[in-house]
Amino acid sequence: MMKKVLLFCFFCGCILQTFAQQQKVYKYVVFFTHKDTQQYVGYPTRFLSPQSLLRRQNQGIAINSQDYPVSSALLDTLKMAGYTTHGVSRWLNCAVVFSDKKDEQQRLKQLYGVKSAEWVGYGYKSIKNKPTEAEQPAEKKKKAPKAHTVYGKSWWQVEMIGAHRLHEKGLQGKDVLVAVIDAGFKNANRIGVLEKAMLQVAATYDFVDLEPNVFDDDEHGTSVWSCMAANDTFNLIGTAPQASYLLLRSEDAQTEFPVEEFYWVIAAEFADSAGADIINSSLGYTDFDNEMFNHNSKQVFMQSTWISKGAAIASEKGLLVINSSGNEGDKDWQIVAFPGDVDEVITVGAVDADGFVASFSSIGVKGSKYLKPDVAAPGKGVFVASADGEVFPGNGTSYACPILTGGMACLWPLFKSMPQKQIKSLLALSSNDYNQPNIYSGYGLPDLSLLHAFVTTAKTDTIFDMRKLSDKYWHIAGNVTQPSIIEITILNERGESVQTQLLPVDKPGSFRLKLHQSDATNPGNYRLVCTMQQKRMTLPFLIK
């Protein structure tokens, strides 16, 4: 059983005021030339938890210089020079520092051990976060369809990716640690719909305000987290109601500056060292409050942004990083936001209840060798919790991402020793556009029950699924232990052979195959008889 470190905060009921005279704070990132690693070599438990080390061991990942802490002597140099350190990244070997003065880069560069320094934004000490769209009452007045299962309003979004089948098998995320990196989890500790979910919180931390309280800022994370963790019977049940969670705030909703990319990386490092298995990130960056910081489309797939570098490193450390594609599909930017451009990251687009891609869902780049988004999940009209405890229909890839993340958390016990490339490959194979991916929804909508079957039957020769996909052809799915020729025979209700086909599987492992156009077109009950490796299997199917 996973040990929980509860870091909940108590509220004193004080009234926060915004003063007319606000102190402006300039934010810089200082990159260092070296690390003092000698004291840490051979002693990984000084900077990584046993759970983090176990994840690396399961995946054969070695500890390297990125894992060692930043030099305390170099941090002391910043302090003695009058700078306030606001965050430290061991992966990027840098520190975020604050100053009341503008244009401090040159002075910072002259300090001992400093390789470079960049201005990454500013803020005001007394300002409180602005509300988000999710807080607007107009969005919450929509009526929800009548609940007809124990899942309540969330039934369709859980069922659409096959997560309910995992729950039926007892796979609900138990003993899996998911880090949710977001903009805040306003009132998540106070509302009834998340009361049980709060019992699953292992730790919290706000990397913007440097405090454990994440419940007094933005409510975006509250809604995102509810997609996974809610366990409110007949009202809202998430896709991983038994998983444990780290609630981490990295996004400062009052402004938009590159410093938040560094907060994200520092939060990801916390997740790594705490032993998280999965990161859910419903955040993305393209434009900033000052145009000089804006990213451009040429940076996509180049890992040239700091958040994309951090997401790639997190994946290298064995964390499964799942990120929303962004809501820019119908805007000027249009393509995936950073860090959704990272190849190793599972980037999630949004579809509606009919499986059509939402117009707002960010798309990939036509002609690129990198396919983004990777897959899609329900993200239009999905039900989420608000900061006032109401369950309402919301739109956004921000919600599609955690709906899929929760399902992947349920499967993590089967994945934990599997290379991430293989996980991504099987996820793609389980999706309804596996054979015809596109820049709008990637490989399409996954079926996690099919993904479960791929993993659990991997060492057998078997056929376990047959279905008609959007291309109007029947497709079969299974596993083979060696290259094979599969003989397919379709029998009608009278046992007569309608068609016979020979289909080659070129390599061992999981497969899906499109059947040739079948003569079995009349409505009725049919049987698919498969013969491979001298083994005969039968699958019934119905044509309506």
Confidence of residue 518 (pLDDT cuts 50, 70, 90): low
Q: For 449-471, what is each residue's pLDDT tens digit?
A: 999 999 999 999 999 999 999 88
Q: What share of the chain is helix, strand, coil (3-state, %, to 5)?
A: 25, 30, 45
Ranges assigned E (strand) in 239-379: 244-249, 278-281, 320-324, 346-351, 375-378
For residue 483, count other CB atoms closer than 10 A to its CB: 10
- pTM reported for the whole predicted model: 0.91
Q: Which among 249, 288, 338 has a CA at the least distance from the CA of 121?
A: 288
pLDDT of residue 520: 62
Give 510's Cβ-side CA count (13 Å radius). Answer: 22
Q: Residue 520: which residues within 8 A CB-CB, separation 6 or more?
A: 490, 492, 498, 499, 526, 543
Phi and psi at residue 294, to the nearest 5°: -55, 140
Q: Domains of the chain, with CATH numbers?
A: 24-124 (3.30.70), 149-453 (3.40.50.200), 457-543 (2.60.40.2550)
DSSP secondary structure of 336-367: PPBTTT-TTSEEEEEE-TTSPBPTTS-B--TT
User: How far, in Å, CA of 473 to CA of 436, rounded?
Assistant: 12
Ranges assigned E (strand) in 379-425: 380-385, 391-395
pLDDT of residue 17: 33
User: How far, in Å, CA of 337 to CA of 347, rounded?
Assistant: 10
Confidence of residue 534 (pLDDT cuts 50, 70, 90): confident
For residue 98, count other CB atoms closer than 10 A to its CB: 18
Confidence of residue 39 (pLDDT cuts 50, 70, 90): confident
Q: For 391-432, what is each residue's pLDDT tens digit?
A: 999 999 999 999 999 999 999 999 989 999 999 999 999 999
User: How far, in Å, CA of 197 to CA of 174, rounded?
Assistant: 12
Q: For 310-337, what is each residue's pLDDT tens digit?
A: 999 999 999 999 999 999 999 999 999 9
